[in-house]
Amino acid sequence: MGKLLADWITRGRPDMDPCSVDIARFYPVQKTPHHVHGRCREIAQKIYDPPVHPREPFASGRNLRRGPFWSREQELGGYFMEAAGWERAHGYAANETRLAAYLERVPERPAEWDARHFWRVANAEQLAMSDDVGMVNLSHFAIYDISGHDAEALLERLSVARIGGDTPIGKGVYTHFLDDAGGVHSDLTIVRLAPDSWRVICGGDTGHRDLMWIIRRGEGWGLTRWHLEDRTDGLATLGLWGPNARRTLQALADVPEALDDAHLPFATAREIRVQGLPVWAFRISYVGEQGWELYVPFSYGLALWDRLFEAGVTPVGIDTYANSRRLEKSLRLQNVDLLTDYNLLEAGLARPKVKSAEFHGKSAHLEQRGREHQPATLCTLVMEDHHDSSGIPRFPVGQAPLLDPESGEVPVDTLGRRSYTTSIAWGPSLECNIAMGYLPGAYAEEDRRLLMEYFGEHYSMRVAAVGYRALYDPLGERPRS
């Protein structure tokens, strides 16, 4: 923290993304004296009692925020972890019996470190979802409705993508906010609700930091005629995905044809009724399967869950959403794979064209686009053999250095950034460990071999995709390992 502050004072920005120590990341519920005292005490104990597992959950400050589905998840034996104060089920004990046939396809994790805070049933849930239909509790989403005279000017100036102008009502736009140097500060979706109203949807971990970024930029630009309504604690979100998602939802919808592709194409949202329940259905997916994010007031949450559960929809834990399936799809995660350390072109997310309107970080972004080669590229890698020297299969967790197999050194790009795995997880559909990491240009080529160091041993890694390209696409391509 001291170095980041010194860099900020002397250079105008830190060398590393300060997201992990940014006080703006805390929601109000996390800033009460009781919560702060409990976390500080626990962190102090962990500092002097290493090692701390990368997935180690906090024991203090729990059960602060529960979505309306929580009671049903508890009945199903949810394995809860916490993020941004929210209790999130990573898998469900009830599925260990219900999905026994799928569980047989999920490997055991004999190394205790790899198995700690992971539940195999999560991978079985993903496989079941891919064969039929599953639902994921996404009530941790941060949701902000922004409206008013200056709303369009504010969001347009923040966003790399075009969200105003003739963007149709109901159209969802995946976009990013950049910092002054063109680094990726935010990764989010914005949906136009009305001519002067938009819904900003952020991940739970990043939501409050995004909120502070919006407010501070608006103040700095002198934009005052806009209103923000925080819908986070009033709108629950349930992801419904799988090859039978449309068929299942149509069987419950008051107007089934409203869910046809012609009426509700990808990246659009509209109000529907599910056996009388008002639901805002946004057709989008972070798991690669067909389906929707379904938004309902908290008071209708249990009714929606029960209708879907009774229709045979499998509850799927957040592990599938946040880790295994999104890595099979090569989808990036803000503050993990996306950081201000790297730009949109390096992350493989630059848009084909740059909009004419001004936006924060545009000059740096244009300079980056003008380079003949980017200093680094985010690549997707697979472990070619995940057995250690004793023959024990390993399932790495956390982040680990990548090495040049000839020199044994960590590749370093022209800006001095070292290569490591930003994300890694077992992909049950591909039956291999999948990782992401930024590699210098000379190493960013398909089928290039590197080594990953994990617990003092080296494992062969192959570059399977350079930039954004899914290894597995259930909606089109055949699986490729």
Q: Stretch 90-102: mean pLDDT, rounded?
A: 98
Structural domain ending residue among the three candidates 230, 248, 270 = 230
CATH of the domain at 416: 3.30.1360.120
Phi, psi of 75 (to 5 degrees): -60, -30
Write down the pLDDT at residue 475: 66
Dihedral angle of Cα 327, 333, 339, 344, to the nearest 10 degrees: 70
Domain co-membership, 40 together with 148: no
350 within some domain: yes
pLDDT cut 70: percent of the chain above it: 99
- In this predicted structure, the answer to whether residue 474 has a pLDDT above a threshold of 90 is no
Q: Stretch 255-281: mean pLDDT, rounded?
A: 97
Total domain count for the chain?
Answer: 3
Domain co-membership, 344 together with 462: yes
pLDDT in tens, 146-166: 999 999 999 999 999 999 999
Domain co-membership, 43 together with 153: no
Q: Stretch 157-183: mean pLDDT, rounded?
A: 97
365 within some domain: yes
Write down the pLDDT at residue 1: 82
Confidence of residue 47 (pLDDT cuts 50, 70, 90): confident
Structural domain ending residue among the three candidates 198, 213, 230 = 230
Confidence of residue 3 (pLDDT cuts 50, 70, 90): confident
Query: What does the mean pLDDT of the chain come to?
Result: 95
Q: What pTM was estimated for this model as a whole?
A: 0.95
d(CA 291, CA 435): 26
d(CA 176, CA 189): 8
Q: Stretch 162-177: mean pLDDT, rounded?
A: 97
d(CA 413, CA 441): 8
Structural domain ending residue among the three candidates 230, 255, 270 = 230
Domain co-membership, 152 together with 24: no
Confidence of residue 19 (pLDDT cuts 50, 70, 90): very high
316 within some domain: no
- In this predicted structure, the answer to whether residue 352 has a pLDDT above a threshold of 80 is yes
Radius of gyration of the chain measured on its C-alpha atoms: 22
Q: Stretch 357-367: mean pLDDT, rounded?
A: 98
Confidence of residue 411 (pLDDT cuts 50, 70, 90): very high
Write down the pLDDT at residue 478: 33
- In this predicted structure, the answer to whether residue 481 has a pLDDT above a threshold of 70 is no
Q: Stretch 31-55: mean pLDDT, rounded?
A: 91
Domain co-membership, 149 together with 23: no
56 within some domain: no
Neighbour-count burial for 90-128, b at 16+ CB within 10 Å, e otherwise: bbbeebeebbeebbeebeebebebbeeebbbbbbbbbbb
Domain co-membership, 41 together with 171: no
- In this predicted structure, the answer to whether residue 93 has a pLDDT above a threshold of 90 is yes
- In this predicted structure, the answer to whether residue 480 has a pLDDT above a threshold of 50 is no
How many angstroms separate the first and last alpha carbons of the chain?
A: 40
From 16-30, 213-227, 370-384, 412-426, the region with the lowest mean pLDDT: 16-30
CATH of the domain at 196: 3.30.70.1400
363 within some domain: yes
- In this predicted structure, the answer to whether residue 133 has a pLDDT above a threshold of 90 is yes
d(CA 472, CA 443): 23
- Domain assignment of residue 398, given as a range: 325-466
Confidence of residue 479 (pLDDT cuts 50, 70, 90): very low
Domain co-membership, 335 together with 461: yes
- In this predicted structure, the answer to whether residue 112 has a pLDDT above a threshold of 50 is yes
Q: Stretch 343-355: mean pLDDT, rounded?
A: 97
d(CA 187, CA 208): 13
Confidence of residue 371 (pLDDT cuts 50, 70, 90): very high
> What is the per-residue DSSP string for 113-172?
HHHTT--THHHHHHHHHHHS-EEEE-TT-EEEEEESTTHHHHHHHHBSS--STTPPTTBE
Domain co-membership, 39 together with 149: no
Measured in whole angstroms, how far is the alpha carbon of residue 38 from the centre of its chain?
27
CB 436 within 8 A of CB 338: no
Confidence of residue 4 (pLDDT cuts 50, 70, 90): confident
